[in-house]
Amino acid sequence: MRQVRHKTLVLLITLSTLAFIGVLAASFAMPETKKKQPSFPQSLFAQAKPEDYIGDEMCAECHKSAHASAGNSPHALYVQNPKNPIDKRGCQACHGPGGLHIAHLKEEDKPFENVISYTKAKPEEIAAACLRCHNDTLTMAHWQKTGHARANIACTACHQLHWADRLGRDRTKEPSEEDKEAGRGASKRGVRSPLFPAAPEPKALLKADEATLCGQCHKREVSEFRKNFHHPVPEGRMVCSDCHDTHPNRDNHKRFHTAKQNCITCHGKVSGPFVFEHDPVSNLSSEGCMECHRPHGSHNPKMLTVFSRGLCNQCHTDKASTHYPGRTCWQAGCHVAIHGSNHERLMFRP
């Protein structure tokens, strides 16, 4: 019996040794997987050596107006911090290592392969460059899921990197003769005139006030704000971001609010809960408040989608042939608690 056990033990040890040798041989035989190289613009920083980073004064020799305006930008407070790593200091924090740019400056066929130009780069490249520092706002994966990313809208469509005055009007001047000869500043950067006269002052780094910026793409919403009854965006008492999230952040990724949750931040008195609620107010219907109201503006009072009895008849079709109230169902003296009631199932009184 002892001899059988001894042979079994020897066999197990032999098999284990052979298995280990096989795994070891297979690992040596497998080709080394190459590490995926980062794409542009991260590739500029990945391949850069410490000597590729130059002083900002060298950048200023060619880019005088840009260098002067950068000092007044909110970005300056961060990129001028000497405690930052070398790749996040000065002009090169945003535009990449200056040494590579200078070394390939005379390669006219590919002038923007070694510098991050925010007027020439693709939207995803611009986002990648910005998110090197702004990853506390959102990650690249979060940005790619936004409507702006899917519409190919770059960060620089709304934001600017630096300016000399509040709206960057100095950068809208025609380039000097010296700049023209050097091929710099060939395009005039126009300041967007405010869409509405009472527009509030733009937030930091925005190219214009929110209504003006958003209105460049969202034309229909702008036209609705010009109707008789509208949210007070033209009067400067509201901005688009009061209701809309332009992009998610790392804390909440994306606030998926229902229409009611947005509306009751201002219209709390009609939010309920009521003992007897109108379905749109209770969020049981698909559109919520927008079952009856236009969110931006309408020709009808209270920003209603339809005026008079036609609004109620969209849902209460069984009453259309038997009820003949005055102007509207809620102005005829019957259903006065249109959002909800704590006393009457038919909402005859609050």
pLDDT at 168: 43
If pLDDT is split at 50, 70 and 90, which confidence band does 299 have? very high
pLDDT at 189: 43
If pLDDT is split at 50, 70 and 90, which confidence band does 315 have? confident
pLDDT at 35: 65
Contacts 24+ apart (CB under 8 A), 140-145: 142/247, 142/248, 142/250, 142/253, 142/254, 143/247, 145/248, 145/254
pLDDT at 70: 86
Say how many CA atoms lie within 13 Å of 108 toward its Cβ: 1
If pLDDT is split at 50, 70 and 90, which confidence band does 185 have? very low
Name which residue leads in pLDDT, 128 or 280.
128
Name which residue leads in pLDDT, 41 or 31.
41
CB atoms within 10 A of CB 53: 18
Model pLDDT for residues 76-128, shown as the tens digit of each residue: 889 999 999 999 999 999 999 999 999 988 877 778 899 999 989 999 999 99
Cα separation, 159 vs 170, in Å, equals: 16
pLDDT at 12: 63
pLDDT at 59: 93
Closest CA to 124 of 207, 24, 39, 199: 39
Q: pTM here?
A: 0.74
If pLDDT is split at 50, 70 and 90, which confidence band does 190 have? very low
pLDDT at 300: 92
Report the C-alpha dihedral over residues 123, 129, 135, 141, rounded to 10 degrees. 40
Domain boundaries, given as residue ranges, for the chain: 258-350
Least confident interval from 44-48, 68-72, 140-144, 283-287: 283-287
pLDDT > 90 fraction of the chain, expressed in percent and rounded = 32
For residue 173, pLDDT over 90 is answered with no
Q: Which two tokens stand for residue 312?
A: 């109620």
Contact 292, 280 (CB under 8 A): yes
Model pLDDT for residues 201-238, shown as the tens digit of each residue: 888 788 889 999 999 999 999 999 999 999 999 999 99
CB atoms within 10 A of CB 155: 22
If pLDDT is split at 50, 70 and 90, which confidence band does 308 have? confident
